[in-house]
């Protein structure tokens, strides 16, 4: 439990300032939308802020430099390790599903808690990256959610290589699967509570977007 709270704290350290900065630009965003004859609902704007917080929270946890952690040689020590690493492939795994074999070995040796925590963590942190694009943007498909998860995960793994953290193709697989789980969660929520998901939708009516749930006769409804 303490490990989960630690990661949540690290996420909030970056996610909250990101949300504050986004909110500061809201007046400019509102004027720009009005100039284009557009308007979105407060629910949608809240959803955008939550999506932004989740995105920056994921980047904060996955791209946290090693030299900020305990028992680290510090920034310059990590740079020296990066330059003098034994080979270009140190801490790199490009063999798919290799990590799953390591998970199984850990489970059989009694290291179940941290193994399950790591496995579920790689899935859970990317669930919002599949859920919110489907909830907020037009043309929601599982391919779009998978692409968001895949692209973000690849960016993270490449960044971790230069931060002296492990780079693993299996993390990309798990992260992408987590984004797909987010899309499936959206489908479930839409089926069980369609009125709730409609709150985050915008209606296109004569070039204007409103937060109303019921479209006018002859008007097309959709998501921005």
Q: DSSP letters of the chain?
A: -HHHHHHHHHHHHHHHHHHHHHHHTHHHHHHHHHHTT----HHHHHHHHHHHHHHHHHHHHHT--GGGSTT---HHHHHHHHHT-SSTTTTEE-STTHHHHHHHHHHHTT-HHHHHHHHHHHHHTTHHHHHHHHHHSSS--HHHHHHHHHHHHHHHHHHHHTTT--EEHHHHHHHHHHHHHHHHHHHHHHHH-HHHHHTT-EEEETTEEE--SSPPTT--EE--
pTM of the model: 0.75
pLDDT one-digit tens code per residue, 39-66: 778 888 899 999 999 999 888 888 876 5
Q: Please check the confidence at residue 72 and state whether its pLDDT lies above 70.
A: no
Summarised one tens digit per residue, pLDDT across range 10-31 is 788 888 888 998 888 888 887 8
Residue of higher predicted confidence among 204 and 21: 21
Mean pLDDT of the chain: 78
- Burial of 208 from C-beta contacts in 10 A (0-12 / 13-18 / 19+): middle
pLDDT in the model for residue 153: 94
Residues sharing a CB contact under 8 Å with residue 59, sequence separation 6 or more, in sequence order: 14, 156
pLDDT at 122 over 80: yes
In this predicted structure, what is the pLDDT of residue 221? 39
Would you say residue 111 has pLDDT above 90? Answer: no
Integer Rg of the chain from CA: 21
Residue 35 has pLDDT above 70, yes or no: yes
pLDDT at 3: 62
Task: Give every CB contact of residue 104 below 8 A, 6+ residues apart in sequence.
Answer: none
pLDDT at position 213: 43
Average pLDDT value for residue range 28-35 = 80
Please check the confidence at residue 198 and state whether its pLDDT lies above 90.
Answer: no
**Token output for 196:** 């709730």
For the cut 70, the answer to whether the pLDDT of residue 143 exceeds it is: yes
Tell which wins on pLDDT, 136 or 162: 136
Q: What angle do CA 131, 134, 140 make, to 5 degrees?
A: 150
């Amino acid at each position: 439990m303490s490990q989960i709270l630690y990661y949540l704290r690290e996420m909030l350290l970056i996610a909250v300032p990101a949300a504050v900065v986004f909110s500061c630009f809201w007046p400019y965003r509102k004027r720009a939308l009005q100039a284009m004859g557009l308007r979105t609902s407060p629910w949608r704007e809240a959803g955008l802020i939550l999506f932004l917080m989740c995105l920056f929270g994921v980047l904060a946890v996955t791209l946290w430099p090693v030299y900020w952690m305990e028992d680290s040689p510090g920034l310059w020590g990590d740079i020296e390790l990066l330059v003098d690493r034994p080979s270009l492939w140190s801490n790199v795994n490009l063999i798919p599903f290799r990590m799953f074999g390591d998970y199984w070995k850990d489970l059989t040796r009694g290291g179940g808690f941290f193994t399950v925590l790591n496995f579920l963590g790689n899935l859970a942190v990317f669930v919002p990256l599949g859920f919110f694009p489907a909830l907020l943007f037009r043309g929601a498909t599982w391919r779009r959610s998978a692409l968001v998860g895949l692209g973000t995960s690849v960016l993270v793994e490449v960044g971790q290589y230069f931060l002296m953290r492990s780079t693993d193709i299996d993390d990309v697989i798990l992260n992408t699967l987590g984004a797909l789980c987010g899309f499936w969660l959206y489908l479930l929520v839409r089926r069980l509570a369609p009125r709730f998901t409609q709150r985050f939708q915008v209606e296109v009516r004569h070039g204007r977007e409103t937060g109303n749930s019921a479209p006018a006769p002859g008007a097309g409804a959709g998501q921005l």
